Structure 1
Amino acid sequence: MALTRSFKETVQARATNDAAFRQALFQEAVQLLLAGEIGAGRSILRDYINATIGFEALAEITQTPPKSLMRMFGPNGNPTVANLFAVINALQNRTGVHLEVRAVTEAA
């Protein structure tokens, strides 16, 4: 039987090697958070962090211990708004992917 990668390993490898995929991953994470899909958004943001700067570098930038950051974006994490936006700001500055918010009127 052939060895296969786990889904997370596949996502990690793709994000490491594909700038467009990394950008889409970051965008999807934030869109999920804004849509109230907190668990999914945290999970994808964790994948993005691991695929880009890692928790050690993020800890240095945000002045937050790496283990605290890992817990915040883990399955039972609950980052404060201040911590969440500090992380998003740090990721934007370090990775060069900048997100913007636009108001969109949904079709009735």
Structure 2
Amino acid sequence: MLPRDSSLTIVERIRRDRAFAKGVLSEAATLFLGGEPEVARLMLRDVVNGTLGFEELSSLTGNPAMDNLAAIFEAITGHLKIEVEARAKKAA
């Protein structure tokens, strides 16, 4: 896990750089599909904090939790007006 200062730096960059936000969100989706949900959750937290915030996310999705991940991605991509792509990681 990144130190808190690193997380704040990432959140600030997400706030000012839509392409970076899209990349972080795409990587979170890839990690989730690749079996690393905890890392994906941490990345999603930074994206939410850097975009619409948890209060707005909650109003759009109900209780934002891993069981409604599709709604979370839909809310964030709608807010940013972007599409993301998840990549399946190839087995080693």
Q: TM exceeds 0.5?
A: yes
Structure 2 unpaired stretches of 5+: none
Question: Using the alignment, how far apart are the partners of 1:42 and 1:85 within structure 2?
Answer: 13
**Identity %, equivalent residues:** 36
CA RMSD of aligned residues (A): 2.3
SS in 1 for 2:84: coil
Query: Which residue number corresponds to residue 55 of structure 1?
Result: 54
Conserved 8 A contact 2:57-2:75: yes
Structure 1 unpaired stretches of 5+: 73-78
Q: 4+ runs of 1 displaced by more than 3 Å? A: 100-104
1:100–1:12 Cα change, 3 Å? closer
Q: Which of 85, 98, 103 is 2:70 aligned to?
A: 85
Letter in 1 for 2:70: F
Alignment length, in residue pairs?
Answer: 89
**TM-score normalised by L of structure 1:** 0.70
**TM-score normalised by L of structure 2:** 0.81
